[in-house]
Amino acid sequence: MLKNTLFPKKEARLYMAFMHVTFASLLIGGLMGLLQTLSRSGQFKLPFGINYYTILTVHGVILGLVLTTFFIVGFQFALMGKTVGISDKQRKWGWIAFWTMLIGTIIAATTILVGQANVLYTFYAPLRAHAAFYIGLALVIVGSWIAVFVNFRQLYVWKKANPGQKSPLLAFMVTINMAMWFIASLGVATSVLVQFIPWSLGYAATINVLLSRTLFWYFGHPLVYFWLLPAYMAWYAIIPKIIGGKLFSDSLARMSFILLLMFSIPVGFHHQLTEPGIDPTWKFIQVVLTFMVVIPTLMTAFSIFATFEITGRRKGHKGLFGWFKRLPWKDVRFLAPFIGMVAFIPGGAGGIVNASHQMNTLIHNTIWVTGHFHLTVATTVILTFFGIAYWLVPHLTGRRLTPKLNKLGIIQTIIWTVGMTIMSTSMHIQGLLGGPRRSDFSNYAGGEQVSTWISYQVAQAVGGTILFIGIILMIYIFIQLAFFAPRGIQEFPIAEEEVDADPTPKILENWYLWIGITVALILFAYTIPVIDIIKHSPPGSLPFDWPIGR
Amino acid sequence: MHLHKYEKIWLTFGLGSLALFLVIIGFAAFWKGTHPMSHIETIDPQNVEAHESFKPENLGLREVAEGKYAVNIVASAFNYNIGTDADGKPVKKIRVPKGSTVLFQITTKDVVHGFQVAGTNVNMMVEPGHVSRLETVMKNAGEFTVVCNEYCGIGHHQMFATVEVYE
Ligand code: HEM
Ligand SMILES: [Cu+2]
Ligand SMILES: [Cu+2]
């Protein structure tokens, strides 16, 4: 399929539907973020008696679960449409996926907004939200599963039509990400369907808290990889085209995605390191498995910078760093994801601290963690998603990213970088000093420690305000690209292989093998500890409504 | 699959550092005993008083031997019950001399809570049905804020206490 041909209208409409929800979520969630930082500064009170934890739940659910999932499913549909095509029937199922997810979102969001689900996006038992909250979340997941199977089917049909050919790289990557998402979300879906819904409706008297948390984190870590892999797709297979280069290595890209699939799931205990009731040896085993992701991460870093250098040198830029200076800094499609990559360096370093068996105790549940994922998700991933949106949205609407909008995009990127540097750095420092996360403003017992925390919370409000300005600007750019920019053809950039590239080994597409290893690793890491948790479970927990104001 | 020479160097260096790093944390965990808190002991969350340590009269600070202390705490939304003082008032501050060994034992009657003595290595989750237990040496003097760092409801940020380590 030609990259410069636009999608048929009815196809583009499906992909755009996901983008509209994404950017609506950004606005709503971003506003909550701003209110959180203002409230935590101690200088402002939330108006109309709004509860801090209501808006925090909205922020976490809408940005962490809704925005990300909608963008990813929509972007991946567009990638599949471009590389392997979509049939009419598949497109109809795509719409069913969209509506199921949207209805689920609306049900969950309404339940939160009326104050019946102040449980935060992790909804830890035995805090009990209204059943509609869990049902809404379950619908979002079921909707995403429909997308999973449509994507699988798309690749399968293409394979049948092109026997013996290797699948397009981006289609392969989408399939890996969806396989991971499906295997991982089985955990949280089991917990929601078997534990939470019957218990919240009163059919089950009690709930096994530790088991529900273990199932949640079996899902929770791969969730962050589900956010990250689409960014990697852009780094591996789209950015090279934007800077005028070629794919570094098709095989290495596939290999690193396979490793990410294998080592993303059997690692959830690194979120539960300070919990009672879990054998520390199993915690340690999962810590070791967690660190295996260092391998694909280093491979990714290498191939990205190698692409930059090879491309620059081919264009004739000399000297040790000549190629670096000449990267297309003024092209927002490059700059935004590039800053995302840079943010991943401190983000990754922080992640090493978090996952370390012992150092984790220092930062667990402090605001350091919030600083960490605003670098990784809310900068690395989000700036890459913005970088994608700058060309994807006009490509879908038959418009162009004009020089003026490009410039606004660059300003947006800078605002985001400044705001996030301030907010995230002050969160990291406050966290190291013991300041807790997920907490409204409080003087606690007073004293020096607390007043130091508060001064960092004021800095976070400054950063948060700058970030919110960035969000307004991004929404403006999105509306322009969606409805007002001049008509034209915006390129859908997909990098090609070198003409003399090594052939990709067949084994890299042996799905039985890779999914088999993934499942084996999961069974190894979880079977014994989960049996232990079930065998030694204490009396279950009754539901608690009043602590969340119900 | 072809690997570039520089990539081989890069990956060898990376994997070497990773292996060294894992050996260090493994050594610290299994030979030096620095595992994160992972106490395994269950309790009925509806009846925590049945456990010797959490009987109302056993809550709070006790000196168990010369320079050794135990603190028993029952967490509930949004309070740490650290026993009562001589006047029958709830204790909000735990005072221990510098250099003493302190064993924290804590459980919850309702939802999940956190227990962090900010500025020290005491940081653990408190979950219904389980006892969390951690022993540490209070090496530095000062006032340390105890915070609940796991969301437990709309009064979460009002759940705190103080540990004072005096010279
Ligand atoms: C205007 C920009 C943003 C601001 C000012 C902001 C601010 C905050 C603050 C202050 C918190 C922590 C509050 C607490 O622990 O009490 C928070 C939590 C969070 N933020 Fe953001 N944020 C922003 C953007 C984002 C984005 C773009 C994402 C994701 C894509 C995101 C995802 C999250 C998540 C998942 C949480 C955790 C919620 C929880 O702990 O329950 N944020 N944010
Ligand atoms: Cu994780
Ligand atoms: Cu709490």
Pairing mode, if any, of strands B123-126 and B113-117?
antiparallel
Calculate how far, in angstroms, residue B36's C-alpha sits from the geometric centre of ligand 2. 16
Is the Cβ–Cβ distance between A139 and A101 less than 8 Å? yes
Average pLDDT, rounded, for chain A: 94
pLDDT for res A465? 97
- Chain A: nearest CA to B119, how far in angstroms? 6
- Chain A: nearest CA to B55, how far in angstroms? 19
Residues of A annotated as part of the active site: 221, 225, 372-374, 437-438
Average pLDDT, integer, range A476-485: 97
Architecture category of domain A9-438+451-494+512-536 in CATH: Up-down Bundle (1.20)
Task: Decide whether any atom of ligand 1 lies within 6 Å of the A490 Cβ.
Answer: no
Q: Cis omega before residue B78 (within 30°)?
A: yes
Q: Is the pLDDT of residue A271 over 50?
A: yes
Instruction: Report the C-alpha gap between A550 and A544 in whole angstroms.
Output: 9
Q: Residue A500 — pLDDT band, cuts 50, 70, 90?
A: confident
What is the ipTM for the molecules in this complex?
A: 0.95
Instruction: Report the C-alpha gap between A193 and A504 in whole angstroms.
Output: 42
Those residues whose C-beta lies under 8 Å from the C-beta of residue B27, and which sit 6 or more positions away, are none
Sort out which chain B residues have CB atoms less than 8 A from A287's CB and list them.
Answer: 25
- Chain B: nearest CA to A342, how far in angstroms? 18
pLDDT, tens digit (0-9, with 9 covering 90-100), for A237-252: 999 999 998 888 898 9
Is the Cβ–Cβ distance between A510 and A260 less than 8 Å? no
The pair phi, psi for residue A300, each rounded to 5°, is -65, -50
Q: Residue A2 — pLDDT band, cuts 50, 70, 90?
A: very low
Task: Starting from the CA of residue A548, give the closest ligand.
Answer: 3
Residue A503 touches chain B, beta carbons under 8 Å: no
* Beta partners for residue B104, in sequence order: B71, B134
Domains of chain A, residue spans? 9-438+451-494+512-536
Task: Decide whether any atom of ligand 1 lies within 6 Å of the A60 Cβ.
Answer: yes
Is the Cβ–Cβ distance between A195 and A126 less than 8 Å? no
Q: What pTM, to 2 d.p., does this model score?
A: 0.95
Q: Is the pLDDT of residue A89 over 80?
A: yes
Tell if the CB–CB gap between B162 and A249 is shorter than 8 Å: no
Instruction: Report the C-alpha gap between A203 and A286 in whole angstroms.
Output: 34
Instruction: Report the C-alpha gap between A112 and A56 in whole angstroms.
Output: 10
Sort out which chain A residues have CB atoms less than 8 A from B30's CB and list them.
Answer: 284
pLDDT, tens digit (0-9, with 9 covering 90-100), for A132-156: 999 999 999 999 999 999 999 999 9
pLDDT for res A4? 64
The pair phi, psi for residue A207, each rounded to 5°, is -135, 145
Suggest the residue from A166, A541, A544 to mutate for an interface test with chain B (most B CBs closer than 10 A). A541
Tell if the CB–CB gap between B153 and A364 is shorter than 8 Å: no
The residue whose C-alpha atom lies closest to atom 26 belonging to ligand 1 is A378
* Beta partners for residue B126, in sequence order: B113
Q: What is the signed CA dihedral for A162, A168, A173, A175, rounded to 10 degrees?
A: -20
pLDDT for res A1? 42
pLDDT, tens digit (0-9, with 9 covering 90-100), for A160-211: 999 989 999 999 999 999 999 999 999 999 999 999 999 999 999 999 999 9
pLDDT for res A3? 52
Q: Give me the percent of chain A exceeding a pLDDT of 90.
A: 88
Instruction: Report the C-alpha gap between A327 and A152 in whole angstroms.
Output: 36
